[in-house]
Amino acid sequence: MSVITYAEAIKQAMCEEMRRDENVFFMGEDIGTYCGAFGVSRGMLEEFGESRVIDTPISETAYVGAGVGAAVTGMRPIVELMFSDFVAVCYDQIINQAAKMHFMFAGKVSVPMVIRTAAGGGTGAAAQHSQSLEQMYCHVPGLKVVAPSTPYDAKGLLKTAIRDNNCVIFLEQKKLYRTKGEVPEEEYTIPLGVADVKREGTNVSLITYGRCVQMCLEVAEKLAAEGIDAEVLDLRTLSPLDRDAIIRTAKKTGHVVIVHESVGFGGFGGEIAGVIADSEAFYYLDAPIKRVGALFCPIPFNPELESYVLPNTGRIEEAVRAVMKEEIR
């Protein structure tokens, strides 16, 4: 094991896959000489050259569309959107082309393409560079959606995503890039659609993904001192979704708090709650399900207001305490 940052884990996954398969290439804005907005691709241009690490024009419509075309003709592009908010510029290419071509051509073509993008807030980047839009991707059949929380998961899931024959949206929350964790030096992959219990518990289930995993673990450790034993389930992949893991943890504890950074209203947490409500786990619940998400508001630039709008450990702890006190009548 070596201890590396989340950003380095992403880079390692890309480099290893580019060495393994000559059809894999990387393109996006400022990823070459500048090494990307978050320094993820440092050194890649020097190793792979301009033909495989391609600096694109500032036109997401153009280069995401080029990625779709390359994928259809047998390449495996990794396309970087500098910020996930910029999906609005190339939504047609992703939603109406990449997600649907395999279906519309009766399986005769595939779109083996990964769209990596920096998501989420917490960095003072304001309303147009801080959104969490995963629920928009998850609503579209034909897209796979991944949101890793640790360097280990980020590397293993990205390698799997690059080898997948479908378009995969790979969400990297910006606050995670400098976090560190253990990553094996030998080859490994992690299958899509398999959640991971980051902390075993018996009293309440915290179901989450992305950087909210760290918040939930912090809350769980604090509450453990008071005798509240919280289980933290990291979904890791949102589509395909590990429904069995969700049902299993809900049945185990009987109390559920769902946590995500995207806006609570219409957020992915509603789908998680629906999985529980539509299963036998519903009859094991001892209290109503609670959700913690961002407030229904554009992300403010002011750090105090941004912190107020986004989920935090205080709001998660409050939700856990509430769900532990409230019984279904």
Q: Give the burial class of 39: count Cβ atoms within 10 A of its Cβ; 0-12 exposed, 13-18 middle, 19 or more buried.
A: middle
Catalytic residue among 102, 129, 255, 260: 129
How far apart CA 268 and CA 116 sit, in angstroms, is: 19
Whether residue 114 contacts residue 79, with contact meaning beta carbons closer than 8 Å, is answered with yes
Detail the DSSP E strand segments found in 141-217. Answer: 143-146, 167-173, 180-183, 196-199, 204-208
In our burial notation (b when 16+ CB lie closer than 10 A, e otherwise), range 268-285 reads bbbbbbebbeebebeebb
* 148 token code pair: 């890793």
Whether residue 156 contacts residue 189, with contact meaning beta carbons closer than 8 Å, is answered with yes
In our burial notation (b when 16+ CB lie closer than 10 A, e otherwise), range 82-99 reads bbbbbbeebeebbbebbb
Q: Give the burial class of 50: count Cβ atoms within 10 A of its Cβ; 0-12 exposed, 13-18 middle, 19 or more buried.
A: exposed
Single out the residue of 194, 179, 91, 78 nearest to residue 133, CA to CA. Answer: 91
DSSP state of 138: H
Residues with Cβ < 8 Å from 108, sequence gap 6 or more? none
**260 in catalytic set:** no
Single out the residue of 147, 175, 170, 115 nearest to residue 299, CA to CA. Answer: 175
Task: Give me the DSSP letters along 278-291.
Answer: TSGGGGG-SS--EE
Whether residue 87 contacts residue 112, with contact meaning beta carbons closer than 8 Å, is answered with no
Active site residues: 129
